[in-house]
């Protein structure tokens, strides 16, 4: 029946993209009147924003429906990307630009006396993610649409995304982000696409017919509804439009009438409140312990809804499930959706009657898993009692799978008891816990790291034993970034220049960017490049003046570190070096100091004490340094509040120097590093994550590498590292640390940073002291490079030209060919 209906659906010629500004202006006016319900004379800027989006959205919808239909008819394999985070940012510019309608819409709005840039500012950031992992998911969605992979992203439609950060008295304050306040013109609510999700209750074993086959029936004690909200994801030139499907939770019974009628008006809303909590808020921690029950509920809620949806789609098209692994690749973005492995097993076995062994084979062929961090505190595990209480049937399946895996490992005769206990899905020492990384690993045919170094370390550390058992599963897929958002949209000046120099081919074939390399020493090009950079720096200077009241000189070297605040990312190393530089500038006024502005930005997890203290320290140091006349403006420090995707789009293009200074071995990849280099900044960084591969691409002469390697860090830690000795042998470091520790930057509370600095003297897990001298010396080398301005820009242009490989199109093609088995 369904196929008969579907075959009647026609491919409609999509609305044209090459309208004139006048025609588009008329459409916008019509949308303003009939879809927003306003006349131009009373329309607010928000109304114009809504009408403009709706006018362009119609064109997207046509292409969206055609993309879906085409994948259906070709019986193409679909990719399902399961992620608890999608850090999308604003969508309007992305959509207009990918459809090639930016100029038309700008002119159309001019005809209506509306400024596109003004209304664009009103669009809130969709901040449904914490940092790198969530932004990568957003870049991947755009690249999948661009390279032609039929795909669906699945996640949660958080009402409150990432918190808004304000800085008050130098300290981070967290405020709720209400991105849906003015509605969301991009999404389509699909009430009809809803699924029941169960929690708790018990499992009953039922004998089937002849008494031989046992079937399990899970009887949950609680239910919520997952309702789909779809957002179209437009690929470059609008050739393909995919779907981001986010689940919102709703009560099955919005009001418990029995309770209400009995006078219990609060109790009557119990279900409603419980359901509401599930999709209310994003956990604002990245690589930091969450551990709460609500988090596990969120993980199961979106995993179960997504899998029910996937199976329903598959069944309606193919009428059976055994072909699932050939027609669906389900990707686990970190372990957050790892419970999907046992949910698919439950659905196949308990609901669809497939035998355990066959279900397990299908599951492994369907799933793939990406690991995004090796930090022990970010490796998820759930207490067995909690897991069992919320998901009793899944707990049984975990045990059953575990028994098989351990049997298999023992049968090889290659594993001792220690190794067996590390392979187990259950951690047995101390509190018993379900290890989600191990579950994702055994349930997937592919496990990948996100940079070459990170993948090697995965094999040597967290997954060493599982890798020995399944040596063919771990592979590397170095991260990438979408050049549409991170070059074409955010840096029109540089994009225009590149186009003038090498022609427009790189817009469609990003590898062609390499042709820019030969312009690196072309005097005229270098001058234009420097001028474009200056415009971007002026724009940032203006934003800093507006938001911070700090005046900065656009001709100074703009040195930027923007990312989540975390000890391993070492914002502390950066600010300590700034203090040392401050001291040097004051002690040696006779030297030719390079004028520098050090920008910082980033959010700390609300419960992460040291990260918040580091934000405070940066602001305290800024207050003293920026006001000190003896510095003569040679050093300025600016902490930009509320770092998010939109602020990144202003800061990346304005950077001269990109700070990528994590303790080697700790940053899985980094993607900000790629965005900066693509926008013509030089990197100062350690040999960590993707920095290693960036050095290979841009060449040693065009990057500033310093510090211990990952191997050296491991050796120093193993051999009894003594930070105190290191500090005592470095006069600059000693001086800077004692200034901070003694209250030079916190005179009203001299002890504010004592413990933080004592931590460096006493343990220094993140090797701040060990890397300090090397870092400071490399900063002075950067000064020397900067002083020879044409040389600096030549290096910067080499960086731009050689970043083509770091496009997420390349990454997605590798996933498609080597993991998902999808043709691109
Ligand atoms: C862990 C947890 C633990 C519990 C609470 C919530 C939560 C949220 C996220 C995470 C894992 C974060 C891992 C992560 O963001 N990794 C980053 O992934 C980037 C994309 O692969 C990569 O570039 C960064 O180096 C890596 O830190």
pLDDT digits (tens, 9 = 90+) for 212-262: 657 899 999 999 999 999 999 999 999 999 999 999 999 998 888 888 889
**Residue closest to 598 by CA, chosen among 473, 399, 782, 371:** 782
SS3 756: helix
Distance from Cα 797 to the centre of ligand 1, integer Å = 31
**Token pair belonging to 202:** 């018990």
Q: Which residues 6+ apart lie within 8 Å of 440 measured at CB? A: 332, 335, 338, 341, 367, 369, 447
The CB of 287 under 6 Å from ligand 1? The reply is yes
Residue 50 main-chain phi, psi, to 5 deg: -60, -45
Q: Rounded CA gap, 43 and 34, in Å?
A: 13
Which whole-number Å values give the CA distances from 184 to 53, 93, 230, 756, in the listed order?
10, 15, 11, 43
Q: Rounded CA gap, 532 and 515, in Å?
A: 19
Instruction: Determine the pLDDT at residue 161.
Output: 96
Closest ligand 1 atom number to CA of residue 668: 25
Buried b (16+ CB within 10 A) or exposed e, 153-183: bbbbbbbbbbbbbebeebebebeebebeeee
Distance from Cα 11 to the centre of ligand 1, integer Å = 41
- 372 catalytic? Reply is yes
**HSE value, Cβ hemisphere, 13 Å, CA-based, for 365:** 15
Closest ligand 1 atom number to CA of residue 291: 4
Buried b (16+ CB within 10 A) or exposed e, 665-700: bbbbbbbbbbbbbbbbbbbbbbbbbbbbbbbebbee
Q: Rounded CA gap, 523 and 534, in Å?
A: 17
Instruction: Determine the pLDDT at residue 255.
Output: 84
Q: Rounded CA gap, 566 and 573, in Å?
A: 11
The CB of 334 under 6 Å from ligand 1? The reply is yes
List 288, 297, 331, 372, catalytic entry: 372
- Residue to probe by mutation, ligand 1, list 298, 338, 668, most atoms within 8 Å of CB: 668
Q: Which residues 6+ apart lie within 8 Å of 573 measured at CB? A: 661, 766, 768, 771, 772, 775
Q: Rounded CA gap, 301 and 195, in Å?
A: 10
Cα four-point dihedral sign 633, 637, 641, 643: positive
The CB of 136 under 6 Å from ligand 1? The reply is yes
Which whole-number Å values give the CA distances from 143 to 86, 148, 629, 807, in the listed order?
14, 8, 49, 9
Q: Rounded CA gap, 446 and 441, in Å?
A: 8
- Residue to probe by mutation, ligand 1, list 373, 486, 661, most atoms within 8 Å of CB: 373
SS3 619: helix
The CB of 299 under 6 Å from ligand 1? The reply is no
List 93, 459, 537, 564, catalytic entry: 564
Instruction: Determine the pLDDT at residue 289.
Output: 57
SS3 347: helix
- Residue to probe by mutation, ligand 1, list 339, 376, 378, most atoms within 8 Å of CB: 378
The CB of 339 under 6 Å from ligand 1? The reply is no
| CATH superfamily of the 483-806 domain | Glycogen Phosphorylase B; (3.40.50.2000)
SS3 232: strand
Going by the DSSP 8-state scheme, the letter that residue 34 receives in this structure is I
Distance from Cα 537 to the centre of ligand 1, integer Å = 30
List 331, 435, 537, 569, catalytic entry: 569
**Token pair belonging to 582:** 């401050």
Count the neighbouring beta carbons within 10 Å of the beta carbon of residue 589.
11
Instruction: Determine the pLDDT at residue 13.
Output: 84
List 478, 495, 671, 811, catalytic entry: 671
- Under a CB-based contact definition with an 8 Å cutoff, are residues 298 and 156 in contact? yes
The closest residue, in CA terms, to atom 20 on ligand 1 is 133
**Token pair belonging to 28:** 């916008």
The CB of 130 under 6 Å from ligand 1? The reply is yes
Distance from Cα 285 to the centre of ligand 1, integer Å = 9
Distance from Cα 333 to the centre of ligand 1, integer Å = 10
593 torsion bin: left (phi>0), alpha (psi -120 to 50), beta (else): beta
The CB of 495 under 6 Å from ligand 1? The reply is no
Going by the DSSP 8-state scheme, the letter that residue 236 receives in this structure is G
Buried b (16+ CB within 10 A) or exposed e, 30-51: ebbeeebebeeeebeebbbbbb
The CB of 668 under 6 Å from ligand 1? The reply is yes
The CB of 437 under 6 Å from ligand 1? The reply is no
Instruction: Determine the pLDDT at residue 3.
Output: 43
Q: Give the architecture (CATH level 2) of 75-90+125-478+813-820.
A: 3-Layer(aba) Sandwich (3.40)
Q: Rounded CA gap, 276 and 278, in Å?
A: 6
178 torsion bin: left (phi>0), alpha (psi -120 to 50), beta (else): beta
| Portions of the chain given CATH number 3.40.50.2000 | 75-90+125-478+813-820, 483-806
The CB of 94 under 6 Å from ligand 1? The reply is no
SS3 426: strand
The CB of 671 under 6 Å from ligand 1? The reply is yes
- Under a CB-based contact definition with an 8 Å cutoff, are residues 479 and 690 in contact? yes
SS3 660: strand
- 564 catalytic? Reply is yes
Going by the DSSP 8-state scheme, the letter that residue 640 receives in this structure is E
The CB of 290 under 6 Å from ligand 1? The reply is yes
Q: Rounded CA gap, 213 and 206, in Å?
A: 9
- 686 catalytic? Reply is no
The CB of 131 under 6 Å from ligand 1? The reply is yes
Buried b (16+ CB within 10 A) or exposed e, 767-776: bbbbbbbebb
3-state secondary structure string across 464-495: HHHHHHCCCCEEECCCCECHHHHHHHCCHHHH
SS3 207: strand
E-state strands within 282-387? 328-333, 367-370, 381-383
- Residue to probe by mutation, ligand 1, list 334, 449, 570, 660, most atoms within 8 Å of CB: 334
Distance from Cα 24 to the centre of ligand 1, integer Å = 42
**Residue closest to 735 by CA, chosen among 614, 629, 576, 594:** 576
The CB of 148 under 6 Å from ligand 1? The reply is no
Q: Rounded CA gap, 468 and 459, in Å?
A: 9
- Residue to probe by mutation, ligand 1, list 130, 136, 375, most atoms within 8 Å of CB: 130
Distance from Cα 287 to the centre of ligand 1, integer Å = 5
Distance from Cα 668 to the centre of ligand 1, integer Å = 9
Count the neighbouring beta carbons within 10 Å of the beta carbon of residue 6.
13
- 484 catalytic? Reply is no
Going by the DSSP 8-state scheme, the letter that residue 656 receives in this structure is S
Q: Rounded CA gap, 656 and 683, in Å?
A: 9
Q: Rounded CA gap, 576 and 780, in Å?
A: 15
- 57 catalytic? Reply is no
Counting as low any pLDDT under 70, the low residues of the chain are 1-11, 209-213, 286-291
The CB of 565 under 6 Å from ligand 1? The reply is no
């Amino acid at each position: 029946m369904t196929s008969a209906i579907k075959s009647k659906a026609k491919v409609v010629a999509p609305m044209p993209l090459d309208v004139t500004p006048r025609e588009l202006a008329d459409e916008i006016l019509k949308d303003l009147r009939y879809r927003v319900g306003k006349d131009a004379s009373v329309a607010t800027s928000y109304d114009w924003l809504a009408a403009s989006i709706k006018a362009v959205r119609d064109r997207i919808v046509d292409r969206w429906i055609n993309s879906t239909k085409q994948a259906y008819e070709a019986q193409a394999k679909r990719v399902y990307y399961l992620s608890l985070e999608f850090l999308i940012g604003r969508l309007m510019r992305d959509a207009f630009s990918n459809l090639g309608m930016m100029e038309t819409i700008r002119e159309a709005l001019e005809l209506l006396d509306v400024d596109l840039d003004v209304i664009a500012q009103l669009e809130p950031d969709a901040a449904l993610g914490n940092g790198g992992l969530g932004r990568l998911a957003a870049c991947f969605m755009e690249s999948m649409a661009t390279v032609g992979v039929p795909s669906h992203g699945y996640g949660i439609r958080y009402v409150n995304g990432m918190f808004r950060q304000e800085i008050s008295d130098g300290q981070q304050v967290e405020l709720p982000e209400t991105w849906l306040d003015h509605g969301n013109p991009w999404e389509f609510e699909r009430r009809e696409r809803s699924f029941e999700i169960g929690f708790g209750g018990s499992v009953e074993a039922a004998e089937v017919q002849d008494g031989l086959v046992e079937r399990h029936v899970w009887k949950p004690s609680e239910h919520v509804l997952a309702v789909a909200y779809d957002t179209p994801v437009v690929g470059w030139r609008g050739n393909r439009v995919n779907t981001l499907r986010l689940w919102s939770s709703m009560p099955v019974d919005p009001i418990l009438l029995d309770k209400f009628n009995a006078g219990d008006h609060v109790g009557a809303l119990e279900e409603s409140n419980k359901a509401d909590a599930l999709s209310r808020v994003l956990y604002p921690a990245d690589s930091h312990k969450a551990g709460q029950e609500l988090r596990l509920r969120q993980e199961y809620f979106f995993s179960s809804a997504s899998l029910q949806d996937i199976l329903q789609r598959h069944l309606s098209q193919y009428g059976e499930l055994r072909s699932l692994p050939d027609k669906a690749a389900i990707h686990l973005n970190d372990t957050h959706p790892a419970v999907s492995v046992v949910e698919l097993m439950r659905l196949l076995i308990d609901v669809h009657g497939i035998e355990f062994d066959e279900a397990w084979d299908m599951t492994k062929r369907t799933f793939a898993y990406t690991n995004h961090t090796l930090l022990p505190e970010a490796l998820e595990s759930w207490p067995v009692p909690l897991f069992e209480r919320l998901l009793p049937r899944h707990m049984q399946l975990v045990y059953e799978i575990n028994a098989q895996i351990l049997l298999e490992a023992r049968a090889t005769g290659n594993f001792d008891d220690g190794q067996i206990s590390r392979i187990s899905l259950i951690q047995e020492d101390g509190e018993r816990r379900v290890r989600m990384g191990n579950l994702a690993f055994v349930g997937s045919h592919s496990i990948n790291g996100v940079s070459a170094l990170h993948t090697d370390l995965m094999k040597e550390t967290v997954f060493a034993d599982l890798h020995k058992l399944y040596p063919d599963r771990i592979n590397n897929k170095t991260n990438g970034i979408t050049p549409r958002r991170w070059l074409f949209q955010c840096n029109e000046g540089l994009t225009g220049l590149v186009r003038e120099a090498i022609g427009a081919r790189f817009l469609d074939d990003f590898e062609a960017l390499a042709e820019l390399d030969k312009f690196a020493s072309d005097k005229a090009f270098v001058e234009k490049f420097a001028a474009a950079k200056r415009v971007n720096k002026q724009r940032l200077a203006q934003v800093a003046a507006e938001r911070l009241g700090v005046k900065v000189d656009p001709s100074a070297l703009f040195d930027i570190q923007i990312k989540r605040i975390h000890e391993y990312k070492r914002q502390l190393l950066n600010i300590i070096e700034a203090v040392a530089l401050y001291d040097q500038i004051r002690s040696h006024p006779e030297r030719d100091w390079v004028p520098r502005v050090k920008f910082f930005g980033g959010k700390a997890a609300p419960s992460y004490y040291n990260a918040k203290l580091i934000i405070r320290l940066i602001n305290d140091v800024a207050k003293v340094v920026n006001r000190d006349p003896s510095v003569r403006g040679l050093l300025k420090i600016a902490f930009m509040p509320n770092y998010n995707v939109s602020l990144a789009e202003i800061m990346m293009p304005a950077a001269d120097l990109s700070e990528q200074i994590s303790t080697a071995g700790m940053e899985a990849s980094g993607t900000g590093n790629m965005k900066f280099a693509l926008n013509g900044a030089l990197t100062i960084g350690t040999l960590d994550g993707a920095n290693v591969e960036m050095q290979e691409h841009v060449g040693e002469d065009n990057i500033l590498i310093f510090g211990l390697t990952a191997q050296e860090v491991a050796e120093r830690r193993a051999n009894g590292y003594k930070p105190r000795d290191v500090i005592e042998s470095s006069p600059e470091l000693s001086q800077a640390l004692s200034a901070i520790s003694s209250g030079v930057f916190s005179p009203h509370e001299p002890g504010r940073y004592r413990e933080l600095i004592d931590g460096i003297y006493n343990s220094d897990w993140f090797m701040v002291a060990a890397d300090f001298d090397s870092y400071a010396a490399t900063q002075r080398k950067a000064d020397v490079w900067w002083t020879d301005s044409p040389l600096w820009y030549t290096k910067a242009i080499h960086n731009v030209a050689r970043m083509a490989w770091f496009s997420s199109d390349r990454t997605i093609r590798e996933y498609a060919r080597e993991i998902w088995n999808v043709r691109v």
